[in-house]
């Protein structure tokens, strides 16, 4: 059996834009995802169980036509018609993020018991997902992160794969840069003009490179000024902000407010990660309410950004006016 909860009847907070539709073979997963995404506007939730009358592909087809849905999220344990799913998925005009349950041999019997469908070989499923430009999440945390970045950044322009990483801690910057492994992302080289501007702010013995470390004695206003210079550089396609909150020169509330302003002013994708401070959740909620995705670690922020950029590169589909992506 299946049931459908239209967005206007769901007991969830309303945002300015409710553009994520969640489809799930498990009712519990759909509810958990909704609570994991307090700052992402959920338009609809459908729990379709054993697919006795309506299957996942039918629902994907419906929400692909729904003008209010910009991103589709799917949790599924087994496909009744894999060929049908593939043909629909590869022709979608909006991102489809999938978390596949039942990856290992030992749980296949459990998936049959739960939803009455075969789980299928996960390596084959991953190949099909790749060919159909499906955004594959390996675990529920990735599922949550991909839903967040694709929904919150849906109006940002993807013009290339050259990213910049900015921190006031060398270690955080290096961890962020490590996130580009196994992705299409690359660390950009700044223009001479950008390097000159940054040198006027950072301490003389710091080398201006990417990832960019402006030092622990930099103020929050120094951090914001450097972020603006990087955003203005044509060699930069996207920016990863990794502010460390511990040094005394950083006034956190003002920093968060200024990050909001930068993200609003630029068309380039910006993601943020911070792991410190007792008020992390409060600041994350503040930024995400302004469509700035926040992640729990530098690596996860960069990996999610890589998925976002790679999707638009592979599909050639853009929700904005743009002729090409330079990758």
pLDDT above 90: residue 112: no
Residues 135 and 182 in one domain: no
Local structure of residue 101 (DSSP, 8 states) = -
131 assigned to some structural domain: yes
For position 52, what pLDDT does the model report? 64
Q: What is the dihedral of CA 288, 230, 206, 259, to 10 degrees?
A: -20
- Both tokens of 298, joined, read 């530098």
pLDDT in tens, 174-184: 999 999 988 88
323 assigned to some structural domain: no
CATH of the domain at 111: 3.40.50.261
Residues 17 and 144 in one domain: yes
Strand partners of residue 203: none
User: Domain count of the chain?
Assistant: 2
For position 323, what pLDDT does the model report? 38
Residues 196 and 295 in one domain: yes
Give the rounded distance of the alpha carbon of 73 from its chain centre.
12
pLDDT band at 268 (very low <50, low <70, confident <90, very high): very high
For position 183, what pLDDT does the model report? 86
327 assigned to some structural domain: no
- By C-alpha distance, which of 134, 55, 44 is closest to 92? 134
Vertex 154, ends 213 and 158: CA angle to 5°?
A: 55
With pLDDT > 90 as the criterion, what percentage of the chain qualifies?
Answer: 54
Residues 107 and 166 in one domain: no
**In whole numbers, what is the pLDDT of the chain averaged over residues?**
85
- Please enumerate in sequence order all residues whose Cβ is within 8 A of that of 266, keeping only pairs 6 or more positions apart, or say none: 231
- Please enumerate in sequence order all residues whose Cβ is within 8 A of that of 152, keeping only pairs 6 or more positions apart, or say none: 39, 40, 288, 291, 292, 293
For position 222, what pLDDT does the model report? 94
For position 184, what pLDDT does the model report? 86
pLDDT above 50: residue 230: yes
Structural domain ending residue among the three candidates 152, 173, 194: 152
- By C-alpha distance, which of 256, 185, 196, 274 is closest to 229? 196
For position 302, what pLDDT does the model report? 96
Query: Contact 64/92 with Cβ under 8 angstroms?
Result: yes
DSSP 265-293: H-SS-EEEE----TTHHHHHHHHHTTT--
Residues 139 and 220 in one domain: no
326 assigned to some structural domain: no
Domain housing 26: 3-152
pLDDT band at 17 (very low <50, low <70, confident <90, very high): confident
pLDDT above 80: residue 316: no
Residues 75 and 133 in one domain: yes
Residues 148 and 13 in one domain: yes
188 assigned to some structural domain: yes
Mean pLDDT to the nearest integer, 128-140 = 93
Structural domain ending residue among the three candidates 98, 117, 152: 152
- CA–CA dist 2, 27 (Å, integer): 10
Residues 19 and 80 in one domain: yes
321 assigned to some structural domain: no
Structural domain ending residue among the three candidates 152, 172, 200: 152
Query: Contact 287/256 with Cβ under 8 angstroms?
Result: yes
For position 118, what pLDDT does the model report? 47
Query: Contact 157/268 with Cβ under 8 angstroms?
Result: yes
Percentages helix, strand, coil for the chain (3-state, rounded to 5) are 40, 15, 45
Residues 198 and 252 in one domain: yes
pLDDT in tens, 140-199: 999 999 999 999 998 788 889 999 999 988 899 999 999 998 888 999 999 999 999 999
Query: Contact 165/176 with Cβ under 8 angstroms?
Result: yes
Residues 172 and 303 in one domain: yes
More confident of the two residues 319 and 89: 89
Local structure of residue 197 (DSSP, 8 states) = H
Q: Lowest mean pLDDT of 39-48, 98-107, 144-153, 176-185, name the range.
A: 98-107
Residues 84 and 131 in one domain: yes
Residues 142 and 277 in one domain: no
Query: Contact 270/263 with Cβ under 8 angstroms?
Result: yes
Q: pTM for the whole thing? A: 0.88
pLDDT band at 205 (very low <50, low <70, confident <90, very high): low
pLDDT band at 260 (very low <50, low <70, confident <90, very high): very high
36 assigned to some structural domain: yes
More confident of the two residues 47 and 232: 232
Please give the C-alpha separations between residue 91 and each of 56, 86, 122, in angstroms, as whole numbers.
15, 9, 22
């Amino acid at each position: 059996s299946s049931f459908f909860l239209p967005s206007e009847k769901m007991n969830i907070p309303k945002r300015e834009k409710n553009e994520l539709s969640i489809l799930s073979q498990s009712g519990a997963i759909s509810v958990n995802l909704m609570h994991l995404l307090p700052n992402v506007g959920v338009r609809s939730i459908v729990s379709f169980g054993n697919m006795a009358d309506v299957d996942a592909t039918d629902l994907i087809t419906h929400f692909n036509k729904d003008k209010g849905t910009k991103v589709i999220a799917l949790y599924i344990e087994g496909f009744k018609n894999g060929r049908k799913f593939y043909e629909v998925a590869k022709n979608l005009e909006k991102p489809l993020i999938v978390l596949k349950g039942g990856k290992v041999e030992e749980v296949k019997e459990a998936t049959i018991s739960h939803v009455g469908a075969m789980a299928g070989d996960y390596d084959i499923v991953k190949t099909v997902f790749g060919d159909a430009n499906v955004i594959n999440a390996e675990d529920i945390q990735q599922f949550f992160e991909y839903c967040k970045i694709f929904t919150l950044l849906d109006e940002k322009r993807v013009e290339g794969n050259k990213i910049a990483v900015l921190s006031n801690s060398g270690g955080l910057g290096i961890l962020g840069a490590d996130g580009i492994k196994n992705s299409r992302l690359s660390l950009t080289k700044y223009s001479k003009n950008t390097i000159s501007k940054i040198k006027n702010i950072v301490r003389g013995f710091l080398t201006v490179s990417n990832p960019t470390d402006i030092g622990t004695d930099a103020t929050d206003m120094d951090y914001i000024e450097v972020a603006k210079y990087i955003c203005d550089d044509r060699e930069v396609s996207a920016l990863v902000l990794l502010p460390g909150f511990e040094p005394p020169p950083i006034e956190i509330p003002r920093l968060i407010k200024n990050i909001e302003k930068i993200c609003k002013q630029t068309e380039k994708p910006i993601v943020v990660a911070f792991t410190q401070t007792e008020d992390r959740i409060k600041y994350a909620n503040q930024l995400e309410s302004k469509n700035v995705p926040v992640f729990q670690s530098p690596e996860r922020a960069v990996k999610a950004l890589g998925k976002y950029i790679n999707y638009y590169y592979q599909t050639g589909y853009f929700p904005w006016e743009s002729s090409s992506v330079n990758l």
